[in-house]
Chains A and B, each alone.
Chain A
Amino acid sequence: MDKTTEKAPRPNNQTSVFVQRKRTFTLAFLGVAALFVVSAVVTNYEIIGGLESIPKAVIWMAQHFVPNAKAWSRLPYILSKLVETALVSVAVTVCAAICAFFFSLLGTKTTRTAPWIARIVRIIAAFFRNVPDVVWAILLLFSFGQNILTGFFALFFSTFGMLTRTFIETIDEVSASCVEALYATGATSLQTVFNGVIPSSLPEIVSWVLYMIETNIRSSTLIGILTATGIGYLFDLYYKRMDYSSASLVVISIVILVIAIEILSNKIRKVIM
């Protein structure tokens, strides 16, 4: 960071800017360093051990984390669970998006709902967004048990909260101007939504839905471990049995699925934007 001083002399007023910037940098650096030390102590983090573990893990993965014949024989089962997880992610995102869209209409300025309604909508969205999906998963386990619906609803609540906020922001940003014009023609709120808000914000909304599907596939792996469903459970099962070959095949299948969805989403985004 001392590179900033290695330059030719400057006029005085500029130097002071540089001195100040350097001071800010130093302060920020010290702050981050302090945070690092405190965090490392609190969590008993061993820096050397951490560094050592990376090559160790790579070597271990190269030796054990490779699919063998037994693992390949499980491929059909793994794929069926993978498809199930992907379908859950799509279904959750689509359902949450439909609910979030209609809910967000109550929260945007474009529909001219009463300010107190808009505020309540935002508070509800914040509630669902900020209660972590892990909590929902654990809570739902009580009544739903180890069921596909446990993961479904856990993801549904957080996706709903997240998408409601995003949709409100998107709609306010994209359609404010045409909405004003439509109201000026004498259109009703509902007509304005269908003729102005939906056509102008749909591409952004589809793009967000695709993004949430990607995110939810990853999240559903974790939720699956907690709720013993889907591909997450399968990984956990092989992992606990120390059948690392099969576990590795699960990871590879997830990677391929996620990357495929990412590539497809990017293609779709390019066309619709």
Chain B
Amino acid sequence: MPILEFKNVSKVYNNITKALTDISFSVYEGEFVSIIGPSGSGKSTILRCINRLVDVTQGSIIFDGHDINKADKKEIRQVRKKAGMIFQHYNLVDRLSVIENVLHGRLGYKSVMSGVIGHYTEEEKEKAFQILAMLGLTEQAYKRCDELSGGQKQRVGIARSLMQEPRLILCDEPIASLDPSSSKIIMDHLSDINETMKITCIANLHQVDVALKYAKRIIGITAGQIVYDGPPEKLTRSKIYEIYQSDEGELITDVK
């Protein structure tokens, strides 16, 4: 049984802008899927539909046994805590400490009040430290997030999502704001998480070569429609040009 299923999903913004048209695909446990496509093709809309940051217009999405469109508030919380998300601009609370940001990953598990006053158990804090150790951030634990470099911030983002004990991690352009060496560190961590912890990963990437290197499956979308879905080996050059609707030589391949 797939962990995530898109059935004929369409999304129209403000009744005019078509973001997604009739998208269908399934993702199985443990897969590392990369969604590629030009900017504005609907990549981030797909990710945001999965945790209902965006409501779909038509079709249905099944994640972890929940029909996301029919989920009520409580159920959405259940869905969200099982789907971690990391962002291009990290989206951390800059003025709080690294460890506080990591602990935010537990909010979905808490009662409203204990989340509001920021009460975490000792086990949760220890777990946060273990995750930070795994990502090489223990020394930064008490620093404020605005003191960190971009690569470190993104690792805090990963730590926050791992804190959720997710079944799925959604990565929205995780390396688009990073330099090549930090990008490699981030992608290696994501790859490790996928392989050793068996967490399913869906990553939007605009660098095709990164996608080819790390993903076990590529979904190419253009103007809100899937034009390729298959293993990286079978993605031909001409198919890539079709996805990016560009002429030969114009391809974005900035990270080796």
Chains A and B share a contact (CB less than 8 Å): yes
Binding site for B on A (CB under 8 A): 175, 177-178, 180-188, 190-192, 194-196, 199-200, 202-203
Stretch at the interface among B29-37, B111-119, B176-184, B200-208: B111-119
Given A183-B80, A186-B80, verify A191-B51 contact (CB < 8 Å): no
Give the Cβ gap from B213 to chain A, nearest Cβ, in Å. 26
Give the Cβ gap from B205 to chain A, nearest Cβ, in Å. 19
Give the Cβ gap from A114 to chain B, nearest Cβ, in Å. 14
> In the complex, A186→B91 CA distance in Å?
15
Given A185-B80, A188-B77, verify A178-B93 contact (CB < 8 Å): yes
On whether the beta carbons of A178 and B94 are closer than 8 Å, the reply is yes
On whether the beta carbons of B118 and A194 are closer than 8 Å, the reply is yes
On whether the beta carbons of B93 and A200 are closer than 8 Å, the reply is yes
On whether the beta carbons of A184 and B51 are closer than 8 Å, the reply is yes
Give the Cβ gap from B71 to chain A, nearest Cβ, in Å. 12
Which residue of chain A lies nearest to B115 when distances are taken between CB atoms in the complex? Answer: A191
> In the complex, A199→B100 CA distance in Å?
11
> In the complex, A184→B118 CA distance in Å?
17
Asked whether B151 is an interface residue with its Cβ less than 8 Å from the other chain, the reply is no
Which residue of chain A lies nearest to B73 when distances are taken between CB atoms in the complex? Answer: A188
On whether the beta carbons of A185 and B94 are closer than 8 Å, the reply is no
On whether the beta carbons of B116 and A190 are closer than 8 Å, the reply is yes
Residues of A near B53 (CB, < 8 A) are 180, 183-184
Given A185-B107, A186-B80, A199-B93, verify A180-B87 contact (CB < 8 Å): yes
> In the complex, A184→B110 CA distance in Å?
14
Asked whether B150 is an interface residue with its Cβ less than 8 Å from the other chain, the reply is no
On whether the beta carbons of A185 and B87 are closer than 8 Å, the reply is no
Contact of A186 among B87, B89, B108 (CB under 8 A): B108
Asked whether B167 is an interface residue with its Cβ less than 8 Å from the other chain, the reply is no
Asked whether B11 is an interface residue with its Cβ less than 8 Å from the other chain, the reply is no
On whether the beta carbons of B107 and A191 are closer than 8 Å, the reply is yes
Give the Cβ gap from A82 to chain B, nearest Cβ, in Å. 36
> In the complex, A185→B170 CA distance in Å?
11
On whether the beta carbons of A187 and B92 are closer than 8 Å, the reply is no
The interface size bin for chain B is 35 or more
Give the Cβ gap from A40 to chain B, nearest Cβ, in Å. 50
On whether the beta carbons of B118 and A187 are closer than 8 Å, the reply is no
> In the complex, A195→B117 CA distance in Å?
8
On whether the beta carbons of B80 and A195 are closer than 8 Å, the reply is no
On whether the beta carbons of B107 and A177 are closer than 8 Å, the reply is no
On whether the beta carbons of A199 and B80 are closer than 8 Å, the reply is no
B75-103 with Cβ < 8 A to chain A: 76-81, 83-85, 87, 89, 91-96
On whether the beta carbons of B95 and A200 are closer than 8 Å, the reply is yes
> In the complex, A16→B189 CA distance in Å?
59
Asked whether B164 is an interface residue with its Cβ less than 8 Å from the other chain, the reply is yes
Residues of A near B7 (CB, < 8 A) are none
On whether the beta carbons of A195 and B118 are closer than 8 Å, the reply is yes
Residues of A near B76 (CB, < 8 A) are 186
On whether the beta carbons of A181 and B87 are closer than 8 Å, the reply is yes
Asked whether B217 is an interface residue with its Cβ less than 8 Å from the other chain, the reply is no
On whether the beta carbons of A195 and B164 are closer than 8 Å, the reply is no
On whether the beta carbons of A195 and B112 are closer than 8 Å, the reply is no
On whether the beta carbons of A185 and B118 are closer than 8 Å, the reply is no
On whether the beta carbons of B80 and A178 are closer than 8 Å, the reply is no
Contact of B164 among A178, A186, A192, A199 (CB under 8 A): A186
On whether the beta carbons of B107 and A195 are closer than 8 Å, the reply is yes
Residues of B near A200 (CB, < 8 A) are 93-95
> In the complex, A185→B110 CA distance in Å?
11
Contact of B96 among A183, A188, A199 (CB under 8 A): A199
> In the complex, A183→B77 CA distance in Å?
9
> In the complex, A181→B96 CA distance in Å?
14
Q: List 28 A-B contacts (CB under 8 A).
A: A178-B91, A178-B93, A178-B94, A181-B87, A181-B92, A181-B104, A181-B160, A183-B80, A184-B51, A184-B80, A184-B83, A184-B84, A184-B85, A185-B85, A185-B104, A185-B105, A185-B106, A185-B108, A185-B164, A186-B78, A186-B80, A187-B107, A187-B108, A187-B115, A190-B112, A195-B93, A195-B107, A203-B95
Residues of A near B77 (CB, < 8 A) are 186, 188
On whether the beta carbons of B115 and A188 are closer than 8 Å, the reply is yes
Give the Cβ gap from A39 to chain B, nearest Cβ, in Å. 45
Which residue of chain A lies nearest to B78 when distances are taken between CB atoms in the complex? Answer: A186
Residues of A near B89 (CB, < 8 A) are 177
> In the complex, A75→B253 CA distance in Å?
76
Which residue of chain B lies nearest to A176 when distances are taken between CB atoms in the complex? Answer: B91
Residues of B near A202 (CB, < 8 A) are 95
Residues of B near A186 (CB, < 8 A) are 76-81, 107-109, 164
Which residue of chain B lies nearest to A201 when distances are taken between CB atoms in the complex? Answer: B95
On whether the beta carbons of B104 and A187 are closer than 8 Å, the reply is yes
Give the Cβ gap from B201 to chain A, nearest Cβ, in Å. 15
Residues of B near A184 (CB, < 8 A) are 51, 53, 80, 83-85, 170
B106-139 with Cβ < 8 A to chain A: 106-110, 112, 115-118
